Amino acid sequence: MFKRICRSNALKLLLLMMISVFIIGCGSKKYASLEEYVKSNPSVQAELDKTLSSSDGTGKSEISGNTIIMKMYYKEQAWGLDASIDSQLKSLMDQYFDKASATLDQSISQIAQESGVDASLISFRYEYYNPNAESPSYTYTYPKK
C-alpha cells in the first residue's frame, strides 16, 4: 500500500507542475487573490479538475483565498486501521512532501508571476480522504507557516 500511495503522490506532484504551466499561460492581468484569478479565468479551474480527475479519477481541486487545495480520495481505507501504521504513513507522506519543496517553490513562483499575487501568500494544501469520509485523514500544507 505504501508504494501505491507514494506512486500516487508522485503523479499528483507531476500534475501540479503541469497545472502550474497551464496557469501561467492564462493571461497577464494581476489579481488580488488566486481565488479571484481562477474565477476570472474559468479555464484554469476546468484544467485543474480535468488534470486531477484524469490521473485516476480520485482527485479534485479548489481554490480558497490564496490556497490551492488538492483533495485526493482513496479507493480503499488507508488510515485509521492501526495507529502504528498511521504514524508510519504520516511520516512517509511528510517526508515525501518535504522533499518536494523545490518543485512546490517553483510552482508558487510561477503562479505568483502570472496572477500578480505575492508568492509569500500562496500555499498548497493536500488532503487525503478515506472512502466515504467527510474530513481528511491526512493533510499537508506547503509552505508550513
Domain that holds residue 48: 2-142
At residue 38, what are phi and psi to the nearest 5 degrees? -70, -40
How far apart CA 123 and CA 119 sit, in angstroms, is: 8
Based on the structure, what is the number of domains in the chain?
A: 1
Q: Name every residue whose Cβ is closer than 8 Å to that of residue 128 and which is 6 or more positions away in sequence.
A: 72, 73, 74, 78, 79, 93, 136, 137, 138, 139
| Number of neighbours of residue 138 by Cβ within 10 angstroms | 19
CATH number, domain at 37? 3.30.300
pLDDT per residue, tens digit, the chain (145 aa), is 544 554 455 445 545 554 554 454 455 577 889 999 989 888 887 877 776 665 565 788 889 999 999 898 888 888 999 999 999 999 999 999 999 999 999 999 988 988 889 999 999 999 999 999 999 999 999 998 7
pTM to 2 decimal places? 0.78
Beta bridge partners of 139: 127
Contact predicate 47/19, CB 8 Å: yes
pLDDT at position 19? 56
